């Protein structure tokens, strides 16, 4: 069942992303060779009447692609020039590239709305739910209902923001600035207690966060947009902390890590699997927005260079840069997958 859920989750996220590219390529009149879900050997294909595109499903359900005329260095002379991507206007090329990212964000908003409508909309700000006895936090002035607004002097904008700031300081003494129920502000310093749980050393601070849920269409609507925005902000912080060394590559998960997360989510109920689709959809959309070769963001970068200089970069140069970026991406994926395996059998 975990494998089926894994295929389902990645299939939905990738399908929506590629469908965004496909839809706007078709609208722009770009010749589309193939719309594929999955990578590797072809398992099944289908052609519609009066449609040049081959629709296929491939063996490995961890990706997918839309193959369009004009993306490669070598020109296909059988395709009319006006149906190649290079011949389209700047706006048409921009919309075709960015559509996959936008569709991922839209999918996340829809998923979070549905989840919140069914299960309720959790709070998106960090409020203290309980303070446990036997921990330094219980002896401090930290109280139930306090809102955390700063971590070590850094302003906290949301619960997802707080979780990142908390994660990079896990195991260290942390100072929170909180707003009490009476409106007063106070700085509270907490030291962790190291314990062994299931043969693993963990750091506990002795407080839990409020997960109170609101119900109704308005609450679900607000949560859907707020959650998507806070997750995007969270990922911006993660990238910055990876660059500055505050977070390591061990914090990232590859296919094996995602497989395990899918399994754990399924144990907690199918609604959690649906939520995971939204979460991963934001991830895929954000990662593709980064100006890195081989990602959509890399193609957008070249497109903006074209807009500034007034002429496109030579396809040979662009494709070489994307090829190098893809190789580096595969090396990174191997490293992340190796870390997943170590965690799995650790």
Give the residue numbers marked as catalytic: 18
Which residues does residue 207 pair with via DSSP β-bridges, in sequence order? 131
Segment (H or E) for 283:
helix 270-289
The C-alpha atoms of residue 273 and residue 12 are separated, in whole angstroms, by 12
Tokens of 216: 């109704």
Angle between helices 2-28 and 270-289 (to 10 degrees): 40
Tokens of 302: 């070249």
Please give the full DSSP string across 201-224, using - where no structure is assigned: EEEE-SEEE---EE-SHHHHHHHH
Please give the full DSSP string across 146-161, using - where no structure is assigned: -EEEEETTEE--SHHH
The C-alpha atoms of residue 270 and residue 257 are separated, in whole angstroms, by 19
The C-alpha atoms of residue 137 and residue 188 are separated, in whole angstroms, by 9
Residues in CB range of 156: below 8 A, 6 or more apart: 126, 148, 149, 150, 162, 165
The C-alpha atoms of residue 293 and residue 329 are separated, in whole angstroms, by 9
């Amino acid at each position: 069942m975990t494998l089926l859920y894994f295929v389902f989750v990645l299939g939905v996220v990738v399908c929506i992303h590629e469908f965004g590219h496909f839809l706007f390529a078709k609208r722009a009149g770009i010749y589309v060779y193939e719309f594929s879900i999955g990578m590797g050997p072809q398992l099944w294909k289908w052609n519609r009447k009066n449609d040049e595109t081959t629709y296929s499903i491939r063996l490995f359900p961890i990706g997918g692609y839309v193959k369009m005329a004009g993306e490669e260095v070598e020109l296909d002379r059988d395709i009319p020039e006006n149906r190649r991507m290079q011949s389209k206007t700047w706006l048409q090329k921009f919309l075709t590239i960015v559509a996959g990212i936008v569709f991922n964000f839209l999918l996340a908003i829809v998923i979070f709305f549905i989840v919140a409508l069914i299960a309720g909309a959790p709070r998106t700000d960090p409020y203290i739910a309980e303070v446990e006895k036997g921990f330094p936090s219980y002896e401090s002035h930290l109280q139930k209902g306090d809102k955390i607004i700063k971590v070590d002097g850094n302003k906290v904008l949301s619960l997802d923001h707080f979780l990142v700031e908390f994660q990079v300081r896990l195991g260290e003494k942390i100072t929170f600035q909180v707003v009490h129920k009476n409106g007063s502000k106070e700085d509270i310093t907490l030291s962790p207690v190291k314990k062994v749980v299931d043969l693993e050393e963990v750091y506990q601070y002795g407080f839990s966060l409020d997960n109170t849920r609101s119900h109704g269409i308005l609450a679900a609507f607000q949560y859907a947009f707020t959650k998507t925005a806070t997750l995007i902000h969270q990922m911006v912080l993660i990238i910055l902390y990876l660059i500055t060394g505050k977070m390591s590559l061990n914090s990232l998960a590859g296919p094996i890590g995602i497989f395990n997360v899918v399994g754990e989510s399924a144990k907690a109920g199918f609604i959690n699997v649906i939520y995971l689709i939204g979460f991963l959809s934001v991830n895929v959309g954000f990662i593709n927005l980064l100006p890195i070769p081989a990602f959509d963001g890399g193609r957008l970068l070249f497109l903006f260079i074209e807009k500034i200089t007034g002429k496109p970069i030579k396809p040979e140069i662009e494709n070489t840069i994307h090829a190098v970026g893809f190789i580096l991406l595969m090396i990174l994926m191997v490293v992340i997958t190796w870390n997943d395996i170590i965690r799995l059998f650790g």
